[in-house]
Chain A
Amino acid sequence: MKIRSSIVREIQTGGVAELHKYLQSAIELEHATIPVYQTALYSIKPGTNREAAAIIASVAREEMLHLNIAANVLNALGGAPVIDKPGFIPVFPGPLPMGIGDLRVSLQKLTRGHVYDTFMAIEQPEQSLDLPVSEPRLAPLAALRAPAVPPAPTAEPEYATIGQFYEAIIGKLEELGAPLFTRPLSPQVVDNTWFPPSQLFPVDGVESAVAALTVIIDQGEGTKLSPLESPHGGPVAHYYRFAEIVYARRLVRDASHPNQFSYSGAPVPLDPAGIWNLVADAKSVDYAEGSQARRISDRFNYSYTSLLKALHETFNGRPDNLSKALALMYEQKLLGGDLAATRIDGTDLQAAPTFEYATQPM
């Protein structure tokens, strides 16, 4: 994903106010990807397309970790994450927070094209590695994505990646140093039930903040030399994990290739029979008043808004509320599955969540 380079410059030339502002944006960005990935997940019929479902779910889960980390850093800087507000949710279809206009993100059922165009674009590293694809009919897709010869450096690059955005924040934290960390009353949210201490730990100073933000960069993009999150190994970074769906194979070590990896592992099949034909970028107004789709959609949005509220409380001094948020995530999963299994009256399309803020309380 391409972020306006002016943002990176603003962080680099700014101070603590800019850090607060863009850590809030980071929280919004990390959240913004979740509806995109979840919609694809809901489109998968239970018990089918297990490999693809597991990949998408694993990435969505780590986006939640990234949100948690960004909020922890903001709290450590004396800021207060704002999660419970209508503008927190992006407009779909539309750009992601801080994104420049060439990536229009859409809520769609799972298809190879959607993963290729959107999921991989969101997670695009600064420099993606050229890794061979063993499925011959899918290899041309990879060729389209082959890293272009980088343009001659100009005074002003047009855009930055998410990784560069976090690097800019890290740079500013290191520059301004310890006085930034005002040790606010807001406690850190560190529940190691769900994420290990190597990924989720308290942020109380420059060192821990840098380490925490580096987790985000590495999980999303991998390292510059490896598609893995760490040069020492670990899971495949998000961009390459999604590529496994597109190229229909797991990414495995492959000594025959200079970059040491290729998409030649176990199959990652995509079975269209196991995917509901979800309506794209649905809005509540698309579902007739009183229809089953509308009713479930309203409940979904209420549950989703409740989740944002629970998360807001969690990251504003009440870490114990994470358990409420967790339960709401699973309620949302059930309601999302209900929606996907619901035919829209008079069509051959299935209903999809609209991810709208429920301004009308229930």
Chain B
Amino acid sequence: MSFLHRVRLAFQGTFQADVSTVNNDVRHYDNATFQPSYQELQAPGHVENGWWNPTGSGAFRLLDCRVTGVWYADGTSTTDPAVDPIIGALVGGSSDRTSGKLVDVDPQWQLASELWGLDVRLIESAAADWFGGRYRPNSFRDLWFSRNVNAGGDRAASATFQSVLEGVSFGPDAAARSRALRELQAATAEQRLSIRLATFGYQDDVHQPGFTVGTLVGAIGPYLAGEPTSFVLGRRFTPASGFTSWAGMTWFTGALDEGSRTLFLDLSNALQITDSAGTPVDVGTIVVGALKNAALRENTPVSPDTFESFAVIPYQDPRWLQASGGVFAAELTEVQVAIARNSPLALVVGSEVNPGAVGMGPNIVGIRESDDGLLVGAEPVISRVDGGGSASVTVYASRYGIPLADTAIQIGQTGPSPQQGGGSPQNPNPPPAPIPDIGVPMDKVELPRQVTTDRTGAAALTIKTQDPKHPRGYLDGQLYLVDYRLPGQGNQARSAFDYAVIHVRDQFDVPADPTWSDVQPIFIQYGNLYPIMSKRLVNLADPADVKAHAKLLHFAFTRDISDPSYMPVTRDLSEGKRRTIIKWLEKLIATGDPGVAAMQAVAAGPVRAPAPPARPAAPAPAPSAEPPEGSKSRFARGLGRLSGKEKQS
């Protein structure tokens, strides 16, 4: 049941995503044509340089997130800390290790940024936690770019991160003192909790206060054994075309719990807003119910004959989104459950609806459940594979929220796609490197034409790979997008960016006796792409500096990939290259590499690095009237060239 469960808590606050942006243009990966200006902030006149945050660290932090409400198994709830002491408690990150990291798998796929190394704690005091766990790394879903109707670019965007907290431990008296935690602990399985963050209102303009900070609403509920960890196998609402329905609603998921006769809707990312805080666009009353006529489309009127109204959604109440975490729950009657079980659900929009008596006139289907109630989803979204290895993905299917057993799911590659991950065509001085195609050569990825679900609606999809042999030249490996769908399902059934994304790395044999020349191209590329690293910690292009920090680099390159201090932060290094680096560093530490000593003499000239510019004080005059377009929105615009599928409204 995930966070869409009677027992849950909601929280709201802000987050910081200090992502680095030099790597937003794939052409910056070409060491041969890299310019120092690519590490500078973008400038007026569409001069992109290193985009909007070239010195980003990749850090992701939960800031000032607090519990706003708790809900109990009997359907009651409270917002009163005297009733449940976790009301008002902080939901924070780690207290004794570095912050989590937010990274893209590849510059040519920036639409599934992943969270790594994030701890989530419900904090009682500086000394005690109500509970804490480790956020299982995953990527966001249901990204859209038109949520904030008064903003543009990434500032208007919104997405959800759904995952599980693992290794959850509760404070010694958490269950005794908080009914919500007692019920959560009793309901959940495998020392996990289900968590969903919705993130929006992100500020990517360095000249504005709140730079790299956005708004967050969250929900935490029990994790039940066997369910997907990163999405809800439930009732999927889909816009008829584009990213939004006529009423400004995008993809979202609900769940019907027949045991408690409760219908849950995750509206945290579904409805448009007017500001970065999440104030909703008032589209009129929204009623959730079921279409008794399953053929009724979006943007058509309903009548009592065609629509069974269940409940009014109080999204217009002040701060409803923040108070609820975006989760709406309604208790249904037995009759309503029977209807909902086999009928498409819908949100109906009207200006003067009486619950239970929807009239003929102005009540229009704002968005509806997918055709035949079908949902197909896959996890993990991102797989990192060394050439010759294979990726394991699980694909799930359900109909009206019930797992579809023994059902075929079609699998296919999207094929070659040109021009992914470049910059603005208006840039007067674009990087000269060519943009490689993704998805080729196709024969390096071997897929079954279909997989068949088991009794639980899950099908194992094994993706076999071969060494792609440097199809992208200056950039390691290749990126493949794998499509999955039930026979006959159209593109709108899945959110626009729902693919299984496979990064297949080039084969790289570890040399018997690695030297600086083996690691130099890798180090120079990372040094180019992550100026915060190369300017502040270790200049990876300078063998003398690398040698001086060899132990530190060895430490970073030998962390577990889930460790927030793992290097490289993008986690895109093949195992062969990683082992080569480690082997060379160990040689350097043990003996000093004579080759490096020679390089050192050359590098030790009187180089005087220019001082970095000061970050401007806020408020400062913006150099350009036009705020930056934003990385994700720019990438998505480019994606319009990928297949015939409409990607952006």
Contacts and interface: CB of A to CB of B under 8 A. Distances in A.
Interface in A318-362: 321, 323-324, 326-328, 330-331, 333-334, 337-338, 341-347, 350, 358-362
B608 A47 contact: yes
> Which bracket fits the contact residues of A?
35 or more
B94 interface: yes
B209 A291 contact: yes
Contacts of A305: 95
A346 B617 contact: yes
B131 to A, nearest CB: 14
B98 A47 contact: no
Given A46-B535, A330-B565, A359-B126, A291 B618 contact: yes
B555 A326 contact: yes
Nearest to A345: B617
A343 B96 contact: no
Contacts of A328: 96-98
B96 A331 contact: no
A48 interface: yes
A306 interface: yes
Interface stretch (B59-67, B242-250, B414-422, B513-521): B59-67
B611 A45 contact: yes
Given A321-B96, A359-B126, A46 B536 contact: yes
B295 interface: no
Contacts, number: 116
Contact of B535 (A47, A290, A345, A358): A47
Contacts of A290: 209-210
A341 B615 contact: yes
A292 B95 contact: no
A306 B552 CA distance: 20
Contact of B615 (A273, A292, A306, A358): A292
A329 B519 CA distance: 26
B interface secondary structure, majority: loop
Contact of A295 (B55, B213, B535, B551): B213
B612 interface: yes
Interface in B40-87: 55, 57, 59, 61-64
A327 B97 contact: yes
B433 interface: no
A13 interface: no
B92 interface: yes
B34 interface: no
A334 B564 contact: no
A342 B93 CA distance: 25
Contact of B532 (A194, A309, A321, A334): A334
Given A306-B94, A334-B532, A48 B608 contact: yes
A299 B616 CA distance: 19
A219 interface: no
A312 B563 CA distance: 20
B62 A273 contact: no
Contact of A323 (B59, B555, B608): B555
20 contacts: A46-B535, A47-B610, A48-B611, A194-B551, A295-B210, A295-B213, A299-B16, A303-B98, A305-B95, A309-B95, A310-B97, A327-B98, A330-B98, A330-B537, A331-B98, A331-B565, A341-B612, A342-B614, A362-B90, A362-B92
In the A-B complex, the 4 residue pairs with the closest CB atoms: A47-B609, A327-B565, A343-B617, A324-B97
Given A194-B551, A331-B98, A345-B618, 13 more contacts: A46-B536, A290-B209, A303-B98, A321-B96, A327-B97, A330-B565, A334-B57, A341-B613, A343-B614, A346-B617, A358-B126, A361-B95, A361-B126
